[in-house]
Amino acid sequence: MASLVQCAYVMLDSLMDRIVGTPSIWLLVQKVLGYPEAKEAMYRSAIAGRGTLLDFGCSSGHLGRAFAGVEYYGVDTDERGIAAARKRWENQPQMHWICANILDRPFPPGEFDQVLVGCTVHHLSDSALVPILRELAFCLRPNGILHIFDPVRQKKDGIGPRMLRKLDRGKYTRTLDQILTALHATSAFKVEHTAILPAPRTVWQDCDTGYVRAIRLEGLETAS
């Protein structure tokens, strides 16, 4: 019986790998699960006012509708994603798409009023996450705002969220406290607000989303 369950799991895992690895299918699955609308609403509600916004890990710009009204800069290492985003939003001159690794410092210091890290933290190990958060602090002006949204593990999670997290390509789903620990390790931010936002109600319930709003401290050492 145990090996049957194991076999079913391996099959499901490789099926999920195929789905997640094919961008058009993955976008469709996300649509069915109601993710784009839920994410757009979350991101829109956090990004108040005007100014410049850096969206770290913007992917193919599939959530671009969330960013109306701000001078938007999406950055990602994914060349195909950035090319698709440029095409998708070519009529929006306030939206800029940059294909770069944030660790290569593609932006001058203090360039942005706000930085968004949307559902990307669980794709990054601690050893990748902390240096990236430091680079994002470098990009933010003093007192600029960092927004982190990410699926979070909680004791209450049932089988649905646990399975989805196992099948997700992001292998580092953390608790909210673990995200805060990584943020504190940068010595670059003061946490202003945290929240747990309920997952959208869909056919397959995921875990809730953790939200952290933090202020970039003044007088940071910005040299590499």
Ligand X SMILES: C[S@@+](CC[C@H](N)C(=O)[O-])C[C@H]1O[C@@H](n2cnc3c(N)ncnc32)[C@H](O)[C@@H]1O
Cβ distance to ligand X smaller for residue 80 or 190: 80
**Which residue has its beta carbon closest to ligand X?**
57
Q: Which structure tokens are listed for 47?
A: 């990004």
Tell me, residue by residue from 55 to 74, as one string, x for binding to ligand X by CB under 6 A and - for no binding: --xxx---x-----------
Minimal distance in Å, beta carbon 4 to ligand X? 32
Tell me, residue by residue from 67 to 106, as one string, x for binding to ligand X by CB under 6 A and - for no binding: --------xxxx--x-------------------xxx---
54, 115, 119, 199: which one contacts ligand X (CB under 6 A)? 119
Minimal distance in Å, beta carbon 8 to ligand X? 26
Minimal distance in Å, beta carbon 30 to ligand X? 8
53, 61, 95, 118: which one contacts ligand X (CB under 6 A)? 118
Among 190, 179, 62, 45, smallest CA distance to 121 is for 179
Q: Which of residues 124-153 bind ligand X (CB under 6 A)?
A: 132
Q: What are phi and psi of 86, to 5 degrees?
A: -60, -40
96, 123, 141, 184: which one contacts ligand X (CB under 6 A)? 123
- Answer yes or no whether residue 206 interacts with ligand X by CB under 6 A: no
Among 148, 149, 154, smallest CA distance to 207 is for 154
Q: What is the largest CA-CA distance in the chain?
A: 60
Instruction: For residue 211, give Cα distances in angstroms to 79, 109, 116, 119, 163.
Output: 28, 25, 11, 10, 22
Among 109, 189, 195, smallest CA distance to 149 is for 195
16, 38, 39, 161: which one contacts ligand X (CB under 6 A)? 39
Looking at residue 99, its amino acid is: C
The Cα–Cα gap between 65 and 37 comes to 10
The Cα–Cα gap between 21 and 96 comes to 26
Name the segment binding ligand X (CB under 6 A); options: 44-52, 112-120, 137-145, 173-181.
Answer: 112-120
For 40, counting Cβ atoms within 10 Å of its Cβ (0-12 exposed, 13-18 middle, 19+ buried), the class is middle
Minimal distance in Å, beta carbon 117 to ligand X? 8
Minimal distance in Å, beta carbon 128 to ligand X? 7
In the complex, the residues that contact ligand X under the rule CB under 6 A are 39, 57-59, 63, 75-78, 81, 101-103, 118-120, 123, 132
